[in-house]
A and B are shown apart, each in its own frame.
Chain A
Amino acid sequence: GQQLNQSPQSMFIQEGEDVSMNCTSSSIFNTWLWYKQDPGEGPVLLIALYKAGELTSNGRLTAQFGITRKDSFLNISASIPSDVGIYFCAGPTSGSRLTFGEGTQLTVNP
């Protein structure tokens, strides 16, 4: 089936650093969603993107819908310890099935 590939799989950064992660697909997407999951909790929606080239911010988070419609990027500026968690990209694939990537595990060292 269709897959979303996220990279990197994990990141270890110092507090205050900026973070970039991305998500790619072999097929075109019309919507990209970015979620964050804390341990023991369900994923929480961070940003939704609906248009190729769209750049959307939510506080220190910025996400972009790639021009090719086959990728998306998430940036976190000036990271803080509470940014720790797993970040997932997701999008509707065949038949409107919401499909998730494997996640990027972010660790922030104080």
Chain B
Amino acid sequence: EAGVVQSPRYKIIEKKQPVAFWCNPISGHNTLYWYRQNLGQGPELLIRYENEEAVDDSQLPKDRFSAERLKGVDSTLKIQPAELGDSAVYLCASSLGAEAFFGQGTRLTVV
């Protein structure tokens, strides 16, 4: 069975440019998470979906970040415009219960 798939693996952009990340969760997993991981730290939740509904987005910087999960399957996370401080690894995970399974992440570098 395929795991969580994320793309791209790496992205380098100039500040003020937009960027988007894509995630395809494990088939049948109704919960999808987007995390941001800064160097030397644990992942921090940005947003959690239950099917197509965002049930926890309190830590998503809504002035520049947006996410969608149309049809309750794959999801896109967007940053517009990107800032230098957005450089991090963006991780997607999915779960059926408490156990979340992660993709390989997208390493974003903003220059």
Contact = CB atoms under 8 A, between A and B. Distances in A.
A100 B43 contact: yes
A42 B105 contact: yes
A48 B100 CA distance: 10
B105 A100 contact: no
B34 to A, nearest CB: 12
B104 A103 contact: no
B63 interface: no
B98 interface: yes
B44 A98 contact: no
A99 B91 CA distance: 14
Contact of B42 (A31, A96, A103): A103
Interface of B: 4, 6, 33, 41-45, 48, 55-56, 91, 93, 95, 98-105, 107
Contact of B100 (A45, A101, A103): A45
A101 B42 CA distance: 6
B42 A102 contact: yes
B105 A88 contact: no
A33 B98 contact: yes
Contact of B56 (A95, A100, A103): A95
**Residue of A31, A35, A43 with most partner-chain B CB within 10 A:** A43
B101 A45 contact: yes
A42 B99 CA distance: 14
Nearest to A44: B102
